[in-house]
Chains A and B, each alone.
Chain A
């Protein structure tokens, strides 16, 4: 390398300034450098309309090829709940241990689906939008956030369906239903954070996308989506630490909170201790952590 520079005494920049000095004098910045965190957040905020438009566009495009179109927004969660009801309610007879089994199950499935789908979408946030990433400059965090927002919009459809199911089973709207709002908001922050973390992992190692379905399925079975953690564990005599870990699992916490808000027979006694603090803690930890982790590799997305 040194030989090259020495053979070029007359090469540009010949006149007084070196290229680096020229760039510095006119305030040019290094291309492709990662902006500082504060600037990044400002940039992201200025693209908020892009994020919402992206989420809505994806949501409507999702079923654009189906004959029934947007009806699937409601059909998909309902069919999911039906399958789980058939297996766990009828075949495995979990229902007899849990009062109000159908509202219990459907709430669990819908809340779980939100987090699971956000994570799955996160694994393809960069690779699935590579055209956008290579063509236009915007903070890349807009992609996993937009995809998580899409899932949140999807969840709103599911919650509408859930309200109808609840009323069919004799649960009518009451003030405690409002508790579902902060619970879902915290869950949304938590899910978005994980989506951002897996988006970075999968952008570097695409194989993560192949692995996630298995991890997610395991996570679902330990999160008490279709069975009650306290009821089942009472019969199994597991060490106290394992029980506590299972009950403090973030998804279990969010599911419990929404069940507590919506279902009469689901009482405070079934919630783990300090449940709101846990819900907030998981949201802050994963929300902030996932965001910073994603930002740390901002300059690398879409390269190569």
Chain B
């Protein structure tokens, strides 16, 4: 935790942020000194692993020794405002995706709090909705799960399918989702989630998966979502995706916030840092 104290004062972004607050804009996500730790089961393997596991299940006591703790996010604080698109950058394992999951309410914080306006929705690229069901069914189910009514889903169905571009190469929407390529699955998921305007939309590398045409469409859609007074977070390793889509960027390094400011400046500083490495 000592690193935190070294990094923090060097952060040059404070004036911009103070200006934001002073302008009286509405915050949508407030992250207040958040720490996130993972408890890793089975990091210690070898003799007695099975009996240790058994006693762990039987006794509900929290273990002091067995598991290992990974401190993924260390004291990050910032406030995001309505209409902002914020890029999260940083090298692998710097805590970007972890922070995003915590904002979505899918990971508990070890310390500190995350306040949100409404329910943030997280779009990841890996998981499909329900592999055994057709794309059609997934569109309807996804829409209903997000809280749209049946009528809204049917009204938006064509729009969602057209947007995803799944049917560009034949009638794929009536095939089970497990037969889709990972790119197609990610596109359909993005299309479903983007059909509804969210207060806060969190995107984890979604833009990197689609082809050029889909990337352009999704950038346009993100711009629309921002105009509908939402906030968009984007995690990406593509610096160009961050600068074209986002106006603000957060740079995370080993779980601490290195820099927070206009996307172009932060990306430039990050690029300079990676080149030095």
Contacts and interface: CB of A to CB of B under 8 A. Distances in A.
Contacts of B121: 135-137
Contact of A19 (B18, B32, B107): B32
A42 to B, nearest CB: 12
B103 to A, nearest CB: 6
A299 interface: yes
B144 A15 contact: no
Given A22-B21, A57-B137, A207-B57, A134 B124 contact: yes
B21 A17 contact: yes
B5 A135 contact: no
B130 A57 contact: yes
Contacts of A304: 38-39, 107
Interface in B76-90: 77-79
Contacts of A29: 115-117
A299 B123 CA distance: 18
A23 B8 contact: no
A134 B111 CA distance: 22
Nearest to B176: A64
Q: What is the size category of the interface that chain B forms with chain A? A: 35 or more
Contacts of B130: 57, 61, 129, 131-132
Interface residues of A, number: 54
Contacts of B141: 50, 53-54, 57, 132
B14 A53 contact: no
A64 B132 contact: yes
Contacts of A54: 141, 144-145
A179 to B, nearest CB: 34
Contacts of B193: 135-136
Nearest to B127: A131
Given A22-B21, A302-B106, A131 B78 contact: no
Interface string B222-261: 0000000000000000000000000000000000000000
Interface string A27-44: 111111100000000000
B250 to A, nearest CB: 12
A12 B14 contact: yes
A13 B21 contact: yes
Contact of A47 (B104, B108, B133, B144): B144
A299 B106 CA distance: 8
Contact of B14 (A14, A30, A58): A14
A50 B108 contact: no
Contacts of B11: 11
Nearest to B31: A19
A135 B127 contact: yes
B18 A32 contact: no
A13 B115 CA distance: 15
A4 interface: yes
Contact of B17 (A12, A23, A49): A12
B189 interface: yes
A1 interface: yes
A14 B18 contact: yes
A10 interface: yes
Contacts of A46: 147
5 contacts: A4-B8, A22-B21, A23-B113, A33-B105, A64-B132
Question: Closest 7 CB pairs between A and B?
Answer: A32-B105, A131-B127, A23-B115, A50-B144, A28-B115, A19-B32, A23-B30
Given A31-B103, A134-B122, A137-B104, 9 more contacts: A14-B14, A14-B18, A20-B32, A23-B115, A28-B30, A46-B147, A57-B140, A58-B133, A136-B142
